[in-house]
Amino acid sequence: MVILNPVEQFINDVQFFSADRAYAPPAQSAITDHFVNIIIDKKFKQSVRIDNALPKGNFVEIQGTDYAYLQEDLTISSSANPVHRITA
C-alpha cells in the first residue's frame, strides 16, 4: 500500500509501478490483483485520467465532505504494463 501526498500538497500528475509477478524475481511476489484507490476533491473528479483514459469505475462521494473516492482495478492492465499514470 502506498499513501501519497496530503491535501495540503495536492499533486495532479503521478506515476507508479504496480509490480506484476512477471516483473519480480521468481518466488518473490504472489501478488495477483492490482487496485488503486483515489481520493479527490469532488470538483476535480471529472478530470481524473488513469493511463490517459477515463476510469472504468465510478467515484463515490464521501458524505459530509468535499471528497469522493474511486477504487480502480488495474489487474489486467498491470500484466501488460506495470507503470501507471494518474492525472487530474
Inter-CA distances, 86 with 10, 24, 52, 65, 75, Å: 13, 23, 8, 22, 16
Residue 62: other Cβ atoms inside 10 A:
12
Give the residues of the chain that fall short of pLDDT 70: 1-8, 20-23, 29
pLDDT at residue number 41: 92
Please give the order of strands across the beta sheet that includes 83-87.
Answer: 13-17, 83-87, 49-50
**Which grid cell is 52?**
490517459
Inter-CA distances, 84 with 28, 61, 67, 77, 88, Å: 21, 24, 23, 9, 14
Strand partners, 88: none
